Structure 1
Amino acid sequence: MTNVHLPPAEYYATLPRILAAAGAVIRDADGRVLLVRPSYRDHWEIPGGALDPGEDVRQTCQREVKEELGLDLVPGRLLVVDWMPERPGSRPRPPLCNFLFDGGTLTEEEARLQVRLAAGELTDWKLAALGEWDTLLPPHMVRRLHACSRALTQGTTAYLHHGFDPSV
């Protein structure tokens, strides 16, 4: 194969397209994590969403938390990066890279007073304990939250592949 040097715009057009998203792991003093229930899904999620043009992932996290929960949150350190491979089939999706940041802590009382759900997008929120994650979240999100919990206690950042640590 001949190494052809393309003009930048043409070269970039040949590269794969990936999506990026960011979310915040907001918890209480007991380690329960704030989850939201989207109106368009049959499971709960971590607050967050897709990158908008011109944003970096930290800005995305901050914007999504503000839009979804009405909270002015400054994202803390990066806890987890989770690479989600391309999904072919009836619901295709390009590869997706999720960035999860430390969203700090809220008491249940503070959450009740401050959380304002995005109308039409979210139907509920809750502080979910570790034992509830399996029933509320898809398996890859449960693995992702466990990795976030480890990162918080160990002061590390984890890289995952669809919720799994590829180095293990």
Structure 2
Amino acid sequence: MSAHPKMTRAEWLASRPRIVAAASSLVHDADYRILMLHASWKDEWQLPGGTHDEGEDLWRTAVRETFEETGLSMPAQPRLLTLDWTMNPEGVAEVWGLFQGPLVDDGVLVKLSDEHDRWEMLTIQEWAPLLPPFQARVLTTAVDMLCNGGCTYLREGERVG
């Protein structure tokens, strides 16, 4: 006899922890300058991206959000650069996938959504002092993966292992 009462699938799913999933893209130029967007509703720089919609995987989230926020199309094949696992202050787990975005040139035309009021392309060294330390660490790791190949798993913005 089982020690646990039998649950329906719906009951079991309802008992599972909640996880918020998000994805972003690393839009860059040949010199590895990274495009970031300034939020129109708070003084914050963000990568193109956001939380996933129901039934959407992280790649589809990055594709959709990048297009909605910049008018740019993602590469045809997904390339995951980093995956970060964090716990937000409310105790809810969050997973953030950061994908290689499109390679752009100086003539790039960025069509901002209402969520953002301007954009910039800077090197990681230029971005780092403008970002919260956690975001700067994740971005630095993602740029390293972009330049040197590979994919890295992060926990709270730090490499694991």
TM-score (norm. length: structure 1): 0.88
Task: Classify 1:84/1:96 alpha carbon distance in 2 versus 1 (closer, same or farther; 3 Å).
Answer: same
- Matched residues in 1 for 2:65 and 2:103: separation? 17
Tell me the residue number matched to 2:147: 153
- SS class of match (2:14): helix
Task: Classify 1:129/1:153 alpha carbon distance in 2 versus 1 (closer, same or farther; 3 Å).
Answer: closer
**Residues 59-108 of structure 1 deviation map (CA, whole Å, 9 limit, x = unaligned):** 111110111001122363001001121313xxxx6221000101131112
Cα drift, residue 3 of structure 1: 2.8
- Matched residues in 1 for 2:89 and 2:32: separation? 32
**Residues 34-72 of structure 1 deviation map (CA, whole Å, 9 limit, x = unaligned):** 001111232201110010112111111111011100112
Cα drift, residue 160 of structure 1: 0.6
Moved over 4 A (4+): none
Unaligned runs of 5+ in 1: none
- Matched residues in 2 for 1:101 and 1:147: separation? 12
Q: Identity, % of aligned pairs?
A: 35
TM-score (norm. length: structure 2): 0.91
**Residues 21 and 97, structure 1, Cα contact 8 Å, conserved in 2:** yes
- Matched residues in 2 for 1:45 and 1:149: separation? 15
Amino acid at match of 1:7: T
Tell me the residue number matched to 1:50: 51
Establish whether residue 107 from structure 1 lines up as the match of residue 105 from structure 2: yes
**Residues 48 and 69, structure 2, Cα contact 8 Å, conserved in 1:** yes
**Residues 81 and 159, structure 1, Cα contact 8 Å, conserved in 2:** yes
Question: Any residues of structure 2 matched to 1:74-113 within 5 Å, and which?
Answer: 74=75, 76-88=78-90, 94-109=92-107, 111=108
Cα drift, residue 145 of structure 1: 1.1
Greater share of strand residues, 1 or 2? 2
Tell me the residue number matched to 1:165: 159
Amino acid at match of 1:81: L
- Matched residues in 1 for 2:130 and 2:54: separation? 31
Establish whether residue 116 from structure 1 lines up as the match of residue 111 from structure 2: yes
- Matched residues in 2 for 1:137 and 1:125: separation? 14
